[in-house]
């Protein structure tokens, strides 16, 4: 009982610390903002961020692109992309009083990219997007950003701020581009010319009038590698992604049946897809992260599909504790693996694993299991020797 009250008290205290900027603007005339910005960048590096930049809040161009994207219905079932009015592209509407956004980058690539490429060629292994192999990035970055805010507060006293890590209507890539952290590539991910694109982004919305950075310019040139390698042709034009075709959307955001037309192209990808990053020429500069929180857990970087398909919900909950994978639930986890098993090389082990789930209580799972078994029946039929 008392622990619950303590928890509520801690939440209230945190909300007070991350107070909204509805208060009247403060007088920062006595603060040297140029010097403070230098300190913010230094503190960010100490906290594990690889790049920190400052952006203003003019996102007019990004707002137009977002409106066009929504009008084309490329967001699929992600209705939250349409909600909140202009708050996504107008930071001062989301958090009144916002003047600047402190944008940060944290690298997450857990291991050499060649290992990931080889995994995609191994149909019996499960491919999980590299960002989800370790601890949930929301928790990691949010904690570091709060620590950064505390350091600023220790230096100048109370100031207004709010922390965001992919958890609210925020155009994080457009803000990071304005902050000089990288440019939005043709695959719509952010790219840094020295480090590639394997990184997370986070933001501090604040009323501090810090000097802004010079926005980064595109360096994609004539390259269309990401467009060519996309398994489902989701990048329908440079800088334009139809999420409804994207494997990350299909295996994570999509709560329903995976359209049959995309199942073969999904291959062994059971949570997300990295192809547009794995083959991007700029990622030749990427290096594995030193951040221990992003190291693979529970052998998910080398797991076999048949083994993962055997996990009951209790095992799945144990193995995914503290992981971003939790968001899809056990049923969709199995749905995705069923598709991957349907794409695997036919073997007694694969067929037995699928057959064991054929009478599952979930109609969604059974549908995908039946499809997967049909793939192996077709394979067996076409490989049988004709009668002589």
Where in the sequence numbering do the catalytic residues fall? Answer: 166
Q: Distance between CA 106 and CA 199 in Å, rounded?
A: 5
Collapsing DSSP states into helix, strand and coil, what is residue 201? strand
Region of residue 164 (left: phi > 0; alpha: psi -120 to 50; beta: else): beta
Instruction: Tell me if residue 155 falls in helix, strand or coil.
Output: helix
- Separation between Cα atoms, residue 212 and residue 215, nearest integer Å: 9
Q: Which two tokens stand for residue 361?
A: 């209580």
**In terms of Cα–Cα distance, which of 63, 102, 99, 61 is closest to 84?**
63
Q: Are 267 and 251 in contact, with CB atoms under 8 Å apart?
A: no
Pairing of strands 127-128, 269-271: parallel
Q: Are 298 and 134 within 8 A, CB to CB?
A: no
Cβ atoms of residues 146 and 180 within 8 Å: no
Cα distance between residue 364 and residue 332, in whole Å: 8
Place of tokens 């080889």: 118
CA distance 60 to 64: 7
- Residue 68: how many CB atoms within 10 A of its CB? 11
Alpha-carbon gap, residue 202 to 141, rounded angstroms? 7
The C-alpha atoms of residue 177 and residue 210 are separated, in whole angstroms, by 17
Residues 349 and 355: their CA atoms lie apart, in Å, by 10
Structure tokens of 6? 């303590």
107 φ/ψ angles, rounded to the nearest 5 degrees: -70, 145
Burial pattern 142-173, b for ≥16 Cβ within 10 A else e, equals bebbbebbebbeeebeebbbbbbbeebbbbbb
């Amino acid at each position: 009982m008392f622990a619950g009250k303590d928890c509520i008290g801690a939440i209230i205290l945190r909300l007070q610390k991350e107070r909204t900027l509805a208060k009247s603007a403060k007088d920062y005339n006595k603060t040297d903002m140029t010097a403070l910005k230098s300190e913010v960048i230094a503190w960010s590096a100490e906290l594990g961020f690889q790049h920190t930049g400052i952006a203003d809040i003019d996102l007019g161009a990004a707002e137009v692109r977002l409106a066009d994207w929504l009008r084309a219905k490329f967001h699929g079932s992600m209705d939250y992309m349409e909600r909140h009015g202009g708050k996504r592209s107008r930071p001062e509407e989301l958090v009144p009083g916002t003047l600047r956004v402190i944008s940060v980058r944290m690298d997450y690539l857990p291991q050499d990219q060649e290992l990931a490429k080889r995994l995609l060629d191994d149909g019996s292994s499960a491919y999980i997007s590299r960002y989800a192999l370790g601890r949930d990035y929301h928790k990691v970055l949010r904690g570091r950003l709060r620590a950064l805010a505390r350091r600023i507060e220790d230096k100048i006293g109370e100031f207004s701020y709010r922390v965001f890590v992919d958890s609210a209507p925020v155009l994080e890539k457009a803000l990071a581009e304005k902050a000089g952290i990288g440019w939005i590539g043709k695959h719509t991910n952010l790219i840094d010319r020295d480090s590639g694109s394997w990184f997370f982004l986070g933001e501090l919305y604040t009323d501090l009038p810090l000097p802004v950075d010079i926005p980064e310019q595109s360096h994609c040139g004539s390259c269309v590698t990401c467009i060519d390698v996309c398994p489902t042709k989701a990048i329908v034009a440079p800088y334009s992604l139809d999420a409804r075709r994207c494997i990350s959307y299909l295996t994570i955001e999509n709560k329903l049946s995976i359209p049959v037309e995309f199942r073969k192209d999904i291959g062994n990808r059971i949570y997300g897809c990295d192809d547009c990053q794995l083959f991007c020429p700029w990622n030749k500069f990427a290096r594995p992260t030193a951040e221990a929180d992003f190291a693979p857990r529970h052998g998910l970087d080398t797991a076999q599909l048949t083994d993962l398909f055997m996990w009951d919900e209790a095992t799945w909950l144990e193995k995914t504790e503290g992981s971003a994978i939790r968001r899809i639930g056990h049923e969709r986890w199995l749905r995705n693996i069923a598709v991957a098993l349907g794409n695997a090389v036919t073997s007694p082990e694969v067929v037995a694993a699928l057959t064991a789930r054929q009478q599952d209580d979930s109609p969604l799972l059974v549908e995908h299991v039946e499809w997967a078994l049909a793939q192996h029946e077709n394979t067996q039929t076409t490989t049988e020797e004709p009668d002589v």
